[in-house]
Amino acid sequence: MSNIRPPAVAGMFYPAEPGQLAHDVQAYLDEARTNAPHPFDLAPKALIVPHAGYMYSGAIAATAYATLRTVAARIRRVVLLGPTHRVAVRGLALPGVDAFDTPLGRVTLDAAGTQAIAHLPQVTVSAQAHALEHSLEVQLPFLQSVLADFTLLPLAVGMATAEEVAEVLETVWGGEETLIVISSDLSHYLPYATAQCVDYETAQSILDLRQPIAHDQACGGTPISGLIVAAQKHYLAPHLLDLRNSGDTAGSHTQVVGYAAFAFTPAT
């Protein structure tokens, strides 16, 4: 396999040394399972997970991935959507590669899923959009730590509508073997107390399945909005797992970035 996307932010957003990375991710997961006030028998179909450096958002991300414990064995495909931060694209961009590498190993891309959505007009291919994009990459070590053998369908989301995102999700929705992960932080660089208020309102909108989620509310507002459309169609219920910001984890209170974790489960 020669067409591989190498890690771009190893050593910056998370440790580049495999042993240290595996240890840190497991520590975040263990902490989430020990300290989180919610049950871990949710059997999620979809997650919303933050994507900052692990020292800032790793603990919040772990509260989402810890919920997979009871369903991990049956998950064989992850559909991963995150916003583009460096390269502007129209629609949703595939990377045009065969696999993603991380310090924990190689993740093979989902060729069948790629083929299934390739005909959609909002789906493009952009190696450039993926080359330095961290929003998708930082999720992979967590996925590699909680899942066994899985393929990945990574999409960098640029200028698109919620309905365009939802159409892509619908095409690859699958069954219990498919997990959908939306990578997004919340507000950016607001004072601590202001961010708490803004992020609370954003979280409430997601819990109420109200969209659109604006980009100043969440950098991944477009893929979140698309997930909300799909969640309504498939009768998924959202659960807020964690809501904090960088002032709570590893930063000052002057300018913070908001983080939240959600799990979406079949409504009962």
Average the pLDDT over 146-158 and give the result: 97
Beta pairing, strands 151-157 & 77-83: parallel
For the segment 234-265, what is each residue's pLDDT rounded down to a tens digit? 999 999 999 999 999 998 999 999 999 999 99
Q: Output the average pLDDT for the chain.
A: 96
pLDDT of res. 125: 97
pLDDT of res. 35: 80
Average the pLDDT over 6-18 and give the result: 98
Is the pTM value of this prediction over 0.95? Answer: yes
pLDDT of res. 115: 97
In sequence order, the 6+-apart residues with CB closer than 8 A to the CB of 54 are 13, 14, 15, 24, 25, 28, 61, 138
Average the pLDDT over 173-190 and give the result: 98
Gap between the Cα atoms of 128 and 3, Å rounded: 14
> Among 60-64, 68-72, 112-116, which is the least confidently predicted range?
68-72
For the segment 20-58, what is each residue's pLDDT rounded down to a tens digit? 999 999 999 999 988 865 555 689 999 999 999 999 999
pLDDT of res. 213: 97
Instruction: Provide the percentage of residues in the chain whose pLDDT is more than 90.
Output: 93
For the segment 104-141, what is each residue's pLDDT rounded down to a tens digit? 999 999 999 999 999 999 999 999 999 999 999 999 99
Q: Which two tokens stand for residue 96?
A: 């045009």
pLDDT of res. 85: 92
pLDDT of res. 42: 85
Among 181, 157, 5, 184, residue whose Cα is nearest residue 95: 5
| 4-266 to CATH, choices 3.30.70.270, 3.40.830.10, 1.10.8.60, 3.30.465.10 | 3.40.830.10
Instruction: Domain ranges for the chain, please list them.
Output: 4-266
Average the pLDDT over 4-24 and give the result: 98
Average the pLDDT over 138-154 and give the result: 97
pLDDT of res. 2: 62
Helix (H, G, I), strand (E, B) or coil at 106: strand
The b-or-e profile of 223-235 (16+ CB within 10 A means b, else e) is bbbbbbbbbeeee
pLDDT of res. 1: 46
pLDDT of res. 38: 57
Query: If you search the block for the tokens 């020990």, which residue do you land on?
Result: 34
Q: Do 57 and 50 touch, CB atoms closer than 8 A?
A: yes
Gap between the Cα atoms of 268 and 266, Å rounded: 6
